[in-house]
Amino acid sequence: MSRAAVFAAGLAALGLAACQPRPDANFDARVKAYLMAHPEALRAALDNMQAKEEAAQEKAEASDDAKAQAALPALRAALERDPRDFVANPAGKVTVSEFYDYRCPHCINIAPKVVALIREHPDVRFVFKEMPIFGDTSEHAARAALAAKTQGKDYVGLYDAFMSAHPLTDAEIDRIAASKGVDLAAMNAPATQAADAQHLNDISDLFKALGFEGTPGFVVGDTFIRGEDPDALNAAVAADAHRG
């Protein structure tokens, strides 16, 4: 926690508002002396601050989800049925959509669970939404994956390989893509690059319209999962399957 936050907590422990004028020049020293003598007061004040911050965060997330829920019916086709996206288990009854970046640490962490979900549960229809947020190299990887889809190559295998490559460089992207049979020349053709740019831009607009601010982001039915939360993902899949 920052020094300013600790000082604010100290004021709270003393029962003072942070905006009150300091009574004298030794005020900082007096606050420090009090906290040294009463560490439990600081702990209680810090816990209270954390609880308030968490409550504010939960309220903000609930507001984001409410807005996203309202927008979802009009956006569902773009989210789940865009023919430009790769879909694993297309006959599955439960649809999961994921926004991700191959260089996002949290996306990397959850990727093995995504692959396992696809391979172990053929009833889960999984929609891959390429959402490069970490610059040109991430966009390069996304374009390679889209080429795998267009060219009928092993998209899930490519996704898995990209998520497992550390670091994922431009050269490694091309090496992995070529090893999966992707035609790099076709991938880099001007017309293909233009089409991919439009596709990625459309995904980005959808990502923002659904209230996502970071990756990974999942939508399962009407449930939004913001961040790396495999337990929430599995619970949402089970709940949607039960409703079906």
pLDDT of residue 18: 47
Total number of domains in the chain? 2
Could you tell me which residues come within 8 angstroms of residue 53 by beta carbon, excluding any fewer than 6 positions away?
A: none
Residue 174 CB: number of other CB atoms within 10 A? 17
Q: Which of 60, 93, 108 is the last residue of a domain?
A: 60
Residue 52 sits in the same domain as residue 91:
no
Q: In what order do the strands lie in the sheet with 124-130?
A: 86-88, 124-130, 94-100, 217-220, 223-226
Long-range contacts of 75-78 (CB under 8 A, 24+ apart): 75/206, 75/209, 75/210, 78/202, 78/206
The answer to whether residue 71 sits within a structural domain is: no
Task: Find the domain containing 18 and state its range.
Answer: 3-60
Residue 18 to residues 40, 136, 234: CA-CA distances in angstroms?
A: 20, 44, 44
Both tokens of 119, joined, read 């391979």
Residue 94 sits in the same domain as residue 144:
yes
Separation CA 234–CA 239 (nearest Å): 9
Both tokens of 42, joined, read 């600081």
pLDDT of residue 65: 82
Partners of 225 in the β-ladder: 218
Residue 236 sits in the same domain as residue 148:
yes
| CATH number of the domain bearing residue 143 | 3.40.30.10
Element at 125 (helix H, strand E): strand 124-130
- pTM for this prediction: 0.76
pLDDT of residue 164: 98
The answer to whether residue 194 sits within a structural domain is: yes
Both tokens of 27, joined, read 């005020």
DSSP track, 67-124: HHHHHHHHHHHHHH--TTSEEESTT-SEEEEEEE-TT-HHHHHHHHHHHHHHHH-TTE
- 13 neighbors 34 (Cβ within 8 angstroms): yes
Name the residue type at position 178. A
Q: From first to last of the 244 residues of the chain, give the pLDDT tens digit.
A: 555 565 556 555 555 544 555 556 677 777 778 778 878 877 787 788 787 877 766 666 667 788 889 999 999 999 999 999 999 999 999 999 999 999 999 999 999 999 999 999 999 999 999 999 999 999 999 999 999 999 999 999 999 999 999 999 999 999 999 999 999 999 999 999 999 999 999 999 999 999 999 999 999 999 999 999 999 999 999 999 988 6
The sign of the CA dihedral 83, 86, 91, 92 is: negative
